[in-house]
Amino acid sequence: MKINIGVLTAGGDSPGLNSAIRAIGKSAYQKFDAHVIGFLDGFRGLMQDRHVHLDSARLSGILTVGGTILGTSRDKPDRMMVGSKKLDMTDAMLEVYNKHHLDVLVCLGGGGTQKGAHTLMKKGMNIITLPKTIDNDIPETDQTFGFDTALGIATEAVDRLHSTAHSHHRIIVVEIMGHNTGWLALGAGVAGGADVILIPEIPYDVAKISDAVLARSRSGKRFSIIAVSEGAIAVNDLHAQMELISQKDQAMTKEERKQITDDLSQFKITQKENAFHLANLLEKSTGLESRVTILGHLQRGGAPSATDRMLATQLGAACIDCIDKGIYGVMVAIQGGYTKPVPLDDIVGRCKSVPLDHPWIKSARYVGTCLGD
């Protein structure tokens, strides 16, 4: 019996996506009399039925290629922009799913993709997901593919910044991706020998950072590297944000709630300039010249590392095992080196933060790294 498999990649691009697509396709052809199609540009391509046949020619030579041959987008199945309106397009997606007589739709992506896939699962589709994100913040899996490559890029950046910081006696604040979790900044900071590491899980005190920088200066080390996650937040700012949330909960009128919502939105906009604000404060408090380096999308680019190629291939092959056994509504996770199907119900709406007793945090503290607290 022919097995019909659909594949899509959604959310931010990430090293290892093509490795996973290749593993799914090649494993499917080895295991079944399979027909595999890929939908272009994530859930929007599924809605519009824009697809390609993932035959041997398309799967050849992509193991080491970064990005995704299928393209991607951040569209949400039940809140998709169509013209000037956000519409629920899940019925249109189900129609395309049935049109191609798909036995399963495989969705590769991060937290938003897991949620979108879960929505389609509730619509009646057989769904399997694979965990992809450079943030490494998906629960129930030891690691997501894309993380190792990004970690290597961010670490190399921290390495390279040491020489210019030392030469010019500067503080260099390097912003590393991670809105909600600090895995990437923490890992790159520890591996790259950053003097200060700031992550969302540990609100920081600017005075504590200044003290650490000045202590280094007094000991003859007239430079400092500060690795800061883009979602890191100062203690005072956290208190202000929590106060606004508390006010919103207590607000009685619609106008009051709207004003507080606007204030919270403005707060998030201000947070986008966090690295520059921090650098200015430290320059004033320490007397040392400060500079900011924002790595941004550089961390997503390039060929996947050997670790990410292996992980993506292992997860992609395990996905075909799930199809063979009729196991759907799951994310294929890696736990202790072995793959495991985890129900999507256990994934959606959760985020894997860095535990405060994690060995990486302990190691950073032991070697004298300031974590801002």
Q: Which residues are catalytic?
A: 135
Phi, psi of 140 (to 5 degrees): 70, 10
Nearest Cα residue to 344 out of 178, 175, 127, 198: 127
Q: How many CB atoms lie within 10 A of CB 254?
A: 8
The span from the CA of 42 to the CA of 8, in Å, is 5
Q: What is the DSSP letter of 311?
A: H
Q: How many CB atoms lie within 10 A of CB 364?
A: 20
The span from the CA of 329 to the CA of 348, in Å, is 11
- In a 13 Å sphere around the CA of 205, the CA atoms on its Cβ side amount to 6
Contact 317, 23 (CB under 8 A): yes
Would you tell me the crossing angle of helices 254-271 and 274-286 to the nearest 10 degrees? 60
Q: Give me the residue label for tokens 């997901």.
A: 129
263 Cβ contact partners less than 8 Å away, ≥ 6 residues apart? 244
The span from the CA of 301 to the CA of 108, in Å, is 17
Nearest Cα residue to 68 out of 23, 19, 116: 19
344 Cβ contact partners less than 8 Å away, ≥ 6 residues apart? 114, 117, 118, 121, 127, 129, 329, 330, 331
> Strand, helix or coil at 103?
coil
Nearest Cα residue to 103 out of 359, 320, 361: 320
